[in-house]
Amino acid sequence: MPVIRRIVLDVLKPHLPNLLDFTESVAALSADYQVGAEVLEMDEKTETLALTVEGDALDYAKIEAEIGALGGSVHSIDACLVVGDSAA
């Protein structure tokens, strides 16, 4: 079965939690997740991010749910790396 190794998401989030807390919360979903974020736009109430998550086997549903729990929303998947299972 193919697995997601890297995904770049266009995310809209409120100013709180701050960017560090937001990325730490997503990274805490799995011990091997590496999360980076860049603020692309900011207005009075929200920030638009390019959120990159990398790991051995990303669980997109959990990532999207955590973003929602933090008050954010995924606008689009802007890039991804999916690899096939070598055991298949």
Distance CA 80, CA 88 (A): 21
Distance CA 40, CA 5 (A): 23
pLDDT at site 86: 58
Q: Model confidence at 85, in pLDDT bands (50, 70, 90)?
A: confident
pLDDT at 88 over 90: no
33-60 per-residue burial string, b: 16 or more CB within 10 A, e: under 16: bebebeeeeeeeebbbbebbbbbeebbe
> How do residues 44-73 score in pLDDT, each as one tens digit?
999 999 999 999 999 999 999 999 999 999
> How do residues 12-53 score in pLDDT, each as one tens digit?
999 999 999 999 999 999 999 999 999 999 999 999 999 999
Distance CA 10, CA 19 (A): 14
